[in-house]
Chain A
Amino acid sequence: MSEFIQHLINGISAGTIYALVALGYTMVYGVLKLINFAHGDVMMVGVYMGYATAFGLGRQAQSSPWGVLLIFVVAMGGCALMGFLIERFAYRPLREKPRLTALITAIGISFTLSYGFQLDIGFLPGSAPRAFPQIIQPSQWFTLGDPEFPDVVVWNWQVISLVLAVVLMAGLQYLVYGTRFGRAMRAVSFDHRVAALMGIPTDRVISVTFMIGSALAAGAGLLYAIKDTSVSPLMGLYVGLKAFVAAVIGGIGNVPGAMVGGLLLGLVEEFVVGYAASTWRDAVAFGFLILVLLVRPGGLFGRVAAEKV
């Protein structure tokens, strides 16, 4: 029983990270109908920004509350700027082109970032994974059973991640459905040309959406790095892929869907790894995705729009 509970907790904890990254995917897809393949790599760059900031602050300052805040602000702000630049110079010129061109561009950016960061030329970090500093001291927040060798452990960062994810999801849901900007976002998503005719500054709405999505990616990436205690240039490729799978499972473009999809994916992975086969982790995620898509092609919460001729 305690093993089951521990798996449950680990699954939720892994799923939270997927959900956080998936929120960014879902927002961008919701507005632009573009799979931003580079999202995971933006996350990776954000983690490196945080890493560099923590390194600059030194051991003492980096684990103080203000240090942690600074690390998050720098990483999220830097990524927001990067997201803006990517959207402005890579995606905006392609807005009237077929969707496939934008997808290929996104794949191109993803490759440039993830493999560009592997080069060890100049200031680039090289391909070896590095230890991420422990900016949040891990402590056991809740234990069950023998205090020395507990059966069930809940770590503080797991709770922090979950709370943060729920708060962010609620915030996004409010942003999309409760504010004027959200209404503009939904209008752009529905038909950006008509939205422009109605006086909505579509370019600005899309830019801001991209910036929010990228900042979310950076935040999620930092939480992931704290959990995983390592950073590497290829982390974005696979975490990003999993998060994308989570977003699609939930129904891409749907904020609560991304959350549910992420948690579900985390739980499924954790249980398969825990009870069946640990080496099949990556296959499980995609197998689950294919299964969900075969039953519900629009994802769990998505609707399948009838194709217009």
Chain B
Amino acid sequence: MRTASAVSGSGSPSGVPASLRGILPVLVAVPALLVLDWLLSNSPFANYLLSIMAVNIILAVSLNIVNGMTGQFSIGHAGFMAVGAYLAGVTSLALKDVALSFLPVAVSDQVFLVVALLVGGISAALAGFLVGLPSLRLRGDYLAIVTLGFGEIIRVAVTNTEAFGRALGLSGIPQTSSVAMVGFWVFLVVLVARRIAGSSHGRSLWAIREDEVAAEAMGVNTTGYKVRAFVISSFFAGVAGGLFAHFVPIINPGSFTFVKSMEIVVMVVLGGLGSTTGAIVAAVFLTLLPEALRSAFSAFGSESNLAQQVDQIRMPVYGLLLVVLMLSRPQGLFGTKELWEVIPRWIPRRRKGM
């Protein structure tokens, strides 16, 4: 029962009263994020990098709920991101000139951002529900291709909709996203993913992943759980899209292609299908890698040509990475284990309370 032991590793501190244990992470995370936001407030590049990293983490962790925990291979995640990005963007554009007069402007902006993100997330969740439904009848490769098709349909639909600016995309969305806001959503998606993994809902997802027919025979409502996993996952993808729309100056259909979906898949596979922390580590690594390579190349001076080609080289490298990974370590870097379960044995750690 490797999977079972992997999911039960809840790191709850033992000295905390039970009533506080549920909200303790929130009490720790929110002030920490606000401090981080304040520290980074006058460094736009760090802000941008952190935001893009956070969006990738949200995408990877949410895709991991479907691909990793449920074993339903979905390769159209960018489609949900697009739904969230566009609807949140349109909502924000509509609410641009409104402000809550009883609040300071900055706070009012954040309230409207949350409203926009929720609109984006919920509409993406609806789209996820629609995609989840065919999974009643399709499995494996067929489901993968349907999710891919759905992602492409969303992209074409967005490209042809007047309200979404057609191929030009949306511009002028208020840039109200902040490190604290993206950090909060990262925190939320990780919390949700971890709670799902440890819950009875999560056990059902793991069962479906390991053997769908056996899970069905054991009385797991496979279709219900699969659709729910899709809905949760696409909600967060939509929120990630909404956040993305609120810190890049312009969103267009070109940002949400098959390629973006594959980037997220690579993150999940690299981290290990089913490992939340693995997805986070992979997302951070793959977001920073191009930046690091670019600065490394430009630091060596004359090869500035090479620095410009980093973005070109990235995609073939992703492809090779997938092939090599599947051949050498098909379960990903961490497998279904979490980060604290793969640290070397000689490092002392607290025993798990069973």
Q: Which residues of A contact B (CB under 8 A)?
A: 35, 90, 93-94, 97-105, 107-113, 115-116, 118-119, 121, 237, 241, 244-245, 248, 277, 279-280, 282-283, 285-287, 289-290, 293-294, 297, 307-309
The 6 closest A-B pairs by CB, nearest first: A108-B322, A286-B149, A111-B319, A112-B319, A115-B315, A283-B156
Within 8 A of A (CB), among B136-180: 137-138, 140-142, 144-146, 148-150, 152-153, 156-157, 159-160
Q: A279-B160, A283-B152 are in contact. Are A105 and B326 (CB under 8 A)?
A: yes
Q: Do residues B319 and A289 form an inter-chain contact, with CB atoms below 8 A?
A: no
Assembly CA distance A12 to B281 (angstroms): 49
Assembly CA distance A228 to B191 (angstroms): 51
Q: Do residues B320 and A108 form an inter-chain contact, with CB atoms below 8 A?
A: yes
Q: Which residue of B lies closest to A41 (CB)?
A: B319
**What's the nearest-Cβ distance from chain A to residue B115, in Å?**
30
Tell me what chain B mostly uses at the interface: helix, strand, loop, or mixed.
helix
Q: Say whether B104 faces chain A, with CB atoms less than 8 Å apart.
A: no
Set of chain A residues within 8 Å of B160, measured between Cβ atoms: 277, 279-280
Set of chain A residues within 8 Å of B326, measured between Cβ atoms: 94, 101-102, 104-105, 108
Q: Which residue of B lies closest to A97 (CB)?
A: B330
Contact of A293 among B138, B315, B320 (CB under 8 A): B138
Set of chain A residues within 8 Å of B258, measured between Cβ atoms: 237
Q: Which residues of B contact A (CB under 8 A)?
A: 71, 73, 75, 134, 137-138, 140-142, 144-146, 148-150, 152-153, 156-157, 159-160, 211-214, 217, 258, 262, 265, 269, 309, 312-313, 315-316, 318-323, 325-327, 330
Contact of A290 among B149, B212, B320 (CB under 8 A): B149
A101, A110, A237, A245, most chain B CB atoms within 10 A: A101
**What's the nearest-Cβ distance from chain A to residue B226, in Å?**
15
Set of chain B residues within 8 Å of A113, measured between Cβ atoms: 319
Q: Which residue of B lies closest to A105 (CB)?
A: B326
Q: Do residues A286 and B152 form an inter-chain contact, with CB atoms below 8 A?
A: yes
Set of chain B residues within 8 Å of A282, measured between Cβ atoms: 152, 156
Interchain Cβ contacts under 8 Å between A and B, 17 examples: A90-B327, A103-B141, A104-B265, A107-B75, A111-B262, A112-B323, A121-B309, A237-B258, A277-B160, A279-B156, A280-B160, A286-B149, A286-B150, A289-B149, A290-B134, A290-B150, A297-B142
Set of chain B residues within 8 Å of A285, measured between Cβ atoms: 149
Q: Do residues A287 and B141 form an inter-chain contact, with CB atoms below 8 A?
A: no
**What's the nearest-Cβ distance from chain A to residue B339, in Å?**
22
Set of chain B residues within 8 Å of A115, measured between Cβ atoms: 312, 315-316, 319
**What's the nearest-Cβ distance from chain B to residue A250, in Å?**
14
**What's the nearest-Cβ distance from chain A to residue B311, in Å?**
10
Q: Which residue of B lies closest to A279 (CB)?
A: B160
Q: Do residues B320 and A112 form an inter-chain contact, with CB atoms below 8 A?
A: yes
**What's the nearest-Cβ distance from chain B to residue A249, in Å?**
11
Q: Do residues A309 and B213 form an inter-chain contact, with CB atoms below 8 A?
A: yes
**What's the nearest-Cβ distance from chain B to residue A116, in Å?**
4
Q: Do residues B145 and A99 form an inter-chain contact, with CB atoms below 8 A?
A: no
Q: Do residues A110 and B137 form an inter-chain contact, with CB atoms below 8 A?
A: no
Q: A99-B141, A294-B137 are in contact. Are A104 and B153 (CB under 8 A)?
A: no
Contact of B319 among A110, A241, A245, A297 (CB under 8 A): A110
Q: Which residue of A lies closest to B320 (CB)?
A: A112
**What's the nearest-Cβ distance from chain A to residue B154, in Å?**
9
Q: Do residues B146 and A289 form an inter-chain contact, with CB atoms below 8 A?
A: yes
**What's the nearest-Cβ distance from chain B to residue A282, in Å?**
5
**What's the nearest-Cβ distance from chain A to residue B92, in Å?**
26
Q: Do residues A111 and B146 form an inter-chain contact, with CB atoms below 8 A?
A: no
Q: A283-B153, A297-B137 are in contact. Are A105 and B142 (CB under 8 A)?
A: no
Assembly CA distance A113 to B316 (angstroms): 7
Assembly CA distance A307 to B323 (angstroms): 29
Set of chain B residues within 8 Å of A116, measured between Cβ atoms: 316, 319
Q: Do residues B142 and A109 form an inter-chain contact, with CB atoms below 8 A?
A: no
Assembly CA distance A122 to B330 (angstroms): 32
Q: Which residue of B lies closest to A112 (CB)?
A: B319
Set of chain A residues within 8 Å of B137, measured between Cβ atoms: 293-294, 297
Q: A245-B145, A286-B152 are in contact. Are A119 and B213 (CB under 8 A)?
A: no
Assembly CA distance A164 to B153 (angstroms): 32
Assembly CA distance A82 to B146 (angstroms): 28
**What's the nearest-Cβ distance from chain B to residue A303, in Å?**
14
Q: A90-B323, A294-B134 are in contact. Are A111 and B318 (CB under 8 A)?
A: yes
Set of chain B residues within 8 Å of A309, measured between Cβ atoms: 211, 213-214, 217
**What's the nearest-Cβ distance from chain A to residue B306, in Å?**
9
Set of chain A residues within 8 Å of B319, measured between Cβ atoms: 107-113, 115-116
Assembly CA distance A160 to B201 (angstroms): 57
**What's the nearest-Cβ distance from chain B to residue A63, in Å?**
34
Assembly CA distance A63 to B142 (angstroms): 42
Assembly CA distance A24 to B153 (angstroms): 25
Q: Which residue of A lies closest to B154 (CB)?
A: A283
